[in-house]
C-alpha cells in the first residue's frame, strides 16, 4: 500500500522527466527485479539530458524507491555517467593502448592546453568538453579523436587547433 505522502512525492518526481522517461521507469519498475534496471534508467535519463543532475537522481530514487545513496553510489561508480552539462561539442579522445602507443597522450596534452580544461570538464563558453574513451575499437586509425559524431583518425598534436576551429574554436580566446 502506497501512502498518500509517497504518491504526492512521486507525482512531483514525475514532473522532472519527459513522458517517455517516466514511462520507461514505470515499465522497469513493473518488471521482475526492478532495482536491477537502475543503470538502464540512468542511461535513459542521461540520454535525454546529456548529464545526471542532482534532481534527476533524486527523482529516480523516489520513482524507483531505491535509496538515493545507492542511486548516486551507482552513478558515480560508472565512468559513463557525468554530472555536469557537457559542452555543445563533445570531444572524446581514445586512450586505448594502440592510440597511446601512437601518441594520443601528446594529443591530449595539446587539447587540454588549447581549451584550458581537464578531462571531464566543459569550457566556460560551454562550447567544448573533453572525455576520454577507453578504446573505441578503431585501433588502426590511432590516435583517434571523436568530435560529436565525427571521427578524426591519425590525429597529430599540431592538427588539434585546426580541428577545433571547425567547431568555432577561437585560438585568440584560448589560454596563453
Partner 1 sequence: MTTEKKVTLWIDGVKVTVPEKSTVLQAARSINIDVPSLCYHPDLSVLGACRVCLVEVEGQRNPVASCSYPVAEGMKVKTSSTLLRRLRRDVVELILDNHPMDCQTCVRNGTCELQKLAYDLGVRERLFQGERKHFEEDKSSPVHRTPDKCILCGRCVRVCGEVQGVHNLGVQNRGFHNVVAPAHECNMIDSVCIHCGQCVNVCPTAAFTEQDATESVFEALSNPDLHVVVHTAPAIRATVGEGFGFRPGTPVTGKLVTALRRAGFHKVFDTNFGADLTIIEESAEFISRVQKKERLPLITSCSPGWVNFMERFYPELIPLTSTCKSPMSMLSTLLKTYYAQQMGIDPKNIFVVAVMPCTAKKFEASRPAHMAPWGKPYTDAVLTTRELIWMLKCLGVDFHNVEDGMFDSPLGVSSGAADIFGATGGVMEAALRTAYEKITGKELETLEFEEVRGVEGVKETSVEINGLTINIGVANGLQNAKNILDRVVSGEKEYHIIEIMACPGGCVAGGGQPYPPDGMHVLDPELARLRARALYSIDGSKSLRKSHENPAIELLYENFLGAPNSHLCHELLHTHYEPKYPRGVK
Partner 2 sequence: MEQLLELRRKAENRLQKEKLSSKMRITVGSATCENAAGANEVFKRVEELIRQHNVKDVSLSRVGCTGRCDMEPVMTVFAKDAEPVKYIAMNPDKAGKFFESHILKGVPVQALLMPHKKKEVGAFSEEKLWAGSRLADRFSPVFDDVDFFGKQMRVTLRNCGVIDPESLDEYLVVRGYQAAVKVLTEMKPQDVVNSITKSGLRGRGGGGFPTGVKWNFASVQKSEEKYIICNADEGDPGAFMDRSTIEGDPHTIIEGMIIGGFAIGAKQGYVYIRAEYPLAIKRLEIAIEAARKAGFLGKNIFGTDWDFDIEIRLGAGAFVCGEETALIRSIEGERGMPRPRPPYPAVRGLWGKPTVINNVETFANIPVVILDGPEWFASIGTDKSKGTKVFALAGKVCNTGLVEVPMGTTLREVVYGVGGGIRDGKKFKAVQTGGPAGGCLPDSCLDTPVDYESLTAAGSMMGSGGMIVIDEDSCMVDMARFFLDFTQDESCGKCTPCREGTKRMLEILQRIVEGKGVEGDIEKLLRLGDTIKRTSLCGLGQASPNPVISTIKHFRAEYEAHIREKRCPAGVCTHLLTYTIIPEKCIGCGACKRKCPVNCISGKPKEVHVIDASRCIRCGQCFSACKFDAVKRK
Could you list the residues that contact partner 1 (CB under 8 A)?
1, 3-6, 9, 54, 57-58, 61-62, 65-73, 76-79
Q: Should residue 65 be labelled a site residue for partner 2 when binding is judged by CB under 8 A?
A: no
Q: Does 141 bind partner 2 (CB under 8 A)?
A: yes
Partner interacting with residue 69 (select from partner 1, partner 2, none; CB below 5-8 Å by kind): partner 1
The single residue among 22, 53, 74, 147 that binds partner 2, judged by CB under 8 A, is 74
Q: How far is the CB of 39 from partner 2 (least distance, A)?
A: 6
- Contact positions with partner 2 (CB under 8 A) in 7-26: none
**Residue listed under C-alpha cell 543503470:** 39
SS3 letters across the chain: CCCHHHHHHHHHHHCCCCHHHHHHHHHHHHCCCHHHHHHHHHHHHHHHHCCCCHHHHHHHHHHHCCCHHHHHHHHHHCCCCCCCCCCCEEEEEECCHHHHHCCHHHHHHHHHHHHCCCCCCECCCCCEEEEEECCCCCHHHCCCEEECCEEECCCCHHHHHHHHHCCCCCCCCCCC
Q: How many whole angstroms separate alpha carbon 61 and alpha carbon 16?
A: 12
Question: Beta-carbon neighbour count of residue 103 at 10 Å?
Answer: 15
Biggest CA–CA distance in the chain, Å, is: 64
Which residue, 65 or 124, is less far from partner 2 as judged by CB?
65
Comparing CB distances to partner 1, the nearer of 22 and 53 is 53
100 lies in the site for partner 2, by CB under 8 A:
yes
> Segment near partner 2 (CB under 8 A), from 6-14, 16-24, 34-42, 159-167?
34-42
116 contacts partner 2 (rule: CB under 8 A): no
Considering CB distances under 5 to 8 angstroms, the limit depending on partner class, which of partner 2, partner 1, none binds residue 163? Answer: none
Q: Rule CB under 8 A: which residues touch partner 2? A: 33, 35-40, 42-43, 66, 70, 73-74, 77-81, 95-98, 100-102, 105, 133-142, 144, 151, 153, 158
Amino acid at each position: 500500500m502506497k501512502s498518500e505522502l509517497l504518491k504526492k512525492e512521486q507525482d512531483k518526481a514525475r514532473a522532472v522527466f519527459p513522458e517517455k522517461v517516466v514511462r520507461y521507469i514505470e515499465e522497469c519498475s513493473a518488471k521482475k527485479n526492478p532495482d536491477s534496471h537502475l543503470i538502464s534508467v540512468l542511461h535513459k535519463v542521461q540520454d535525454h539530458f546529456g548529464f545526471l543532475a542532482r534532481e534527476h537522481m533524486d527523482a529516480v530514487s523516489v520513482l524507483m524507491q531505491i535509496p538515493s545513496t545507492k542511486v548516486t553510489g551507482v552513478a558515480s561508480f560508472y565512468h559513463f555517467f557525468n554530472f555536469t552539462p557537457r559542452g555543445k561539442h563533445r570531444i572524446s579522445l581514445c586512450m586505448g593502448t594502440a592510440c597511446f602507443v601512437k601518441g594520443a597522450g601528446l594529443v591530449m596534452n595539446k587539447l587540454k592546453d588549447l581549451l584550458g580544461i581537464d578531462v571531464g570538464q566543459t569550457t566556460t563558453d560551454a562550447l567544448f568538453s573533453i572525455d576520454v574513451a577507453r578504446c573505441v575499437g578503431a585501433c588502426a586509425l590511432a590516435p583517434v579523436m571523436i568530435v560529436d559524431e565525427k571521427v578524426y583518425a591519425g590525429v597529430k598534436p599540431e592538427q588539434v587547433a585546426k580541428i577545433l576551429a571547425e567547431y568555432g574554436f577561437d585560438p585568440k580566446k584560448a589560454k596563453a
